[in-house]
């Protein structure tokens, strides 16, 4: 399979030789007011540093641990909020799709369709996402090796769409824990640009019994490691009051820390991009 080196998203591209991009926003849409507050800060911070930015939020979290957990406002209201965020702040948006029928309506608003990790091998979903012509971000399943993601990416390409990203978000390590193998980044860059999800990587899936736990202290550590390893983009879920987030409260990153955090990883990314060796030949 031919390597996809860059993927265009609006006015910029993500991939080999391009600046580090940021994909960030709340885990799940709570209200338009909260989403706008988060988007305003992220646009301000990323613009000041010249970092390409994509706003992320889910209209439905279909894989919550407990049936009673908040899933989001649903497709109609969620897409309306995302559309207004996109227009108000002039940024591309990314959101999840869960079944083939979601893809066409979501693609009317979203610039990138995101395939959740648990669904990364679902052929019908990947083919439907490919058919929209929108960029597709496939999150690597916690149960897959990085090399196995080539087949998932290949399904989108076979559907006539070469605008594909793969996201590393940790691998299952026993029960209720994840671990990151930074070798996965150059392996997956062997077939497409790679995003590193620094907040889901610190999750403890199902670790609280009725919800997932996590440890946000390690988000900066893992993000720095991924940028040093050559990640093309960093994915973060952020919130102004993490403890009050209705989803992933233990791993979501504080919005107030984004200025210093983004400044730090951009400096590191700029340095890494001066190295002559580029992506290892794997």
For the stretch 209-244, pLDDT in tens is 767 788 999 999 999 999 999 999 999 999 999 999
- Domain 6-272 fold: TIM Barrel (3.20.20)
Residue 279: is its pLDDT beyond 60? no
- For the whole model, what pTM was predicted? 0.95
Q: Quick check: helix, strand or coil at residue 82?
A: helix
CA separation for the pair 232, 221 (Å, rounded): 17
Q: Quick check: helix, strand or coil at residue 54?
A: strand
pLDDT, mean of residues 117-128: 98
Query: In degrees, to the nearest 5, what angle opens at C-alpha 93 toward C-alphas 58 and 217?
Result: 60
| DSSP E strands, the chain | 6-9, 12-15, 21-25, 53-56, 93-96, 112-115, 135-139, 164-168, 171-172, 178-179, 194-197, 203-204, 213-214, 233-239, 253-254
Please list the residues that pair with 7 across neighbouring strands. Answer: 14
For position 235, what pLDDT does the model report? 98
Residue 278: is its pLDDT beyond 90? no
Backbone angles phi, psi at 74, to 5 degrees: 95, 170
């Amino acid at each position: 399979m031919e390597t996809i080196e860059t993927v265009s998203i609006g006015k910029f591209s993500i991939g080999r030789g391009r600046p580090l991009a940021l994909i960030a926003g709340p885990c799940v849409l709570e209200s338009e007011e909260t989403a706008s507050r988060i988007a305003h800060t992220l646009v301000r911070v990323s613009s000041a540093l010249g970092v390409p930015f994509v706003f992320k939020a889910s209209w439905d979290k279909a894989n919550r641990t407990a049936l009673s957990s908040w899933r989001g406002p649903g497709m109609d209201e969620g897409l309306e909020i995302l559309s207004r965020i996109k227009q108000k702040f002039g940024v591309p948006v990314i959101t999840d799709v869960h079944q083939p029928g979601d893809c066409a309506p979501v693609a009317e608003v979203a610039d990138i369709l995101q395939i959740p990790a648990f669904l990364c091998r679902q052929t019908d979903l990947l083919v439907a996402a490919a058919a929209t012509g929108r960029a597709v971000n496939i999150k690597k399943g916690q149960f897959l090796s990085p090399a196995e993601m080539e087949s998932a990416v290949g399904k989108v390409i076979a559907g006539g769409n070469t605008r594909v990203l793969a996201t590393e978000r940790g691998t299952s390590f026993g029960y209720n824990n994840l671990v990151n193998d930074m070798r996965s980044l150059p392996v997956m860059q062997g077939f497409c640009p790679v995003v590193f999800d620094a907040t889901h990587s610190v999750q403890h899936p199902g670790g609280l019994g009725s919800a997932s736990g996590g440890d946000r202290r390690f988000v900066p550590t893992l993000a720095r490691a991924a940028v040093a390893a050559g990640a093309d983009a960093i994915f973060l879920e952020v919130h102004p009051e993490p403890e009050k987030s209705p989803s992933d409260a233990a791993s979501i990153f504080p919005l107030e820390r984004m200025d210093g955090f983004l400044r730090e990883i951009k400096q590191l990314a700029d340095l890494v991009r001066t190295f002559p060796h580029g992506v290892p030949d794997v």
